[in-house]
């Protein structure tokens, strides 16, 4: 069990350092100390995706894994709409949220023990 706690701590530390660096970089850009560039701001949804990946890697239960999937799905949806991938906008892509919600509901219903622990080999 200590091994799992150590891995969780490592991922939390990496995520914390990443968020700290991004925050400082964007703050310095706002104060015109450095120039990140306008296009960099368009990739902010990748932070949401990174949080989701972190949550999935740290998941101890199937429910936690589903929550990580939800973060990733929403982050990718934001990314697709902000970058207008495949011509998507917030106005035209909202049905994708229903698709994600449906996938989550099916996943929840098909998991035999929703609160069960995930085996780590």
Is 79 contained in some domain?
A: yes
Residue 121 pLDDT > 60: no
Is 28 contained in some domain?
A: no
Q: What is the pLDDT of residues 14-26, one digit of tens each?
A: 778 887 888 888 7
Are 49 and 79 in contact by the 8 Å Cβ rule? The answer is yes
Task: Give the structural domain span for 42.
Answer: 37-110
Is 24 contained in some domain?
A: no
Is 5 contained in some domain?
A: no
Residue 114 pLDDT > 60: no
Is 70 contained in some domain?
A: yes
Is 4 contained in some domain?
A: no
**Number of domains making up the chain:** 1
Residues recorded for the chain: 121
Is 88 contained in some domain?
A: yes
Task: Please tell me the pTM assigned to this model.
Answer: 0.65
Is 62 contained in some domain?
A: yes
């Amino acid at each position: 069990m200590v091994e799992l706690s150590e891995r969780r701590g490592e991922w939390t530390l990496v995520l914390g350092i990443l968020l700290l660096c991004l925050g400082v970089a964007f703050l310095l850009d706002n104060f015109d100390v450095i120039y990140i560039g306008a296009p960099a701001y368009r990739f902010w949804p990748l932070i949401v995706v990174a949080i989701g990946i972190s949550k999935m890697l740290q998941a101890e239960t199937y429910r936690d894994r589903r929550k990580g999937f939800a973060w990733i799905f929403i982050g990718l949806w934001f990314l697709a709409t902000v970058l207008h991938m495949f011509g998507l906008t917030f106005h035209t892509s909202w049905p994708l949220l229903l698709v994600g919600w449906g996938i989550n509901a099916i996943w929840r219903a098909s998991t035999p023990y929703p609160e069960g622990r995930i085996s780590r080999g």
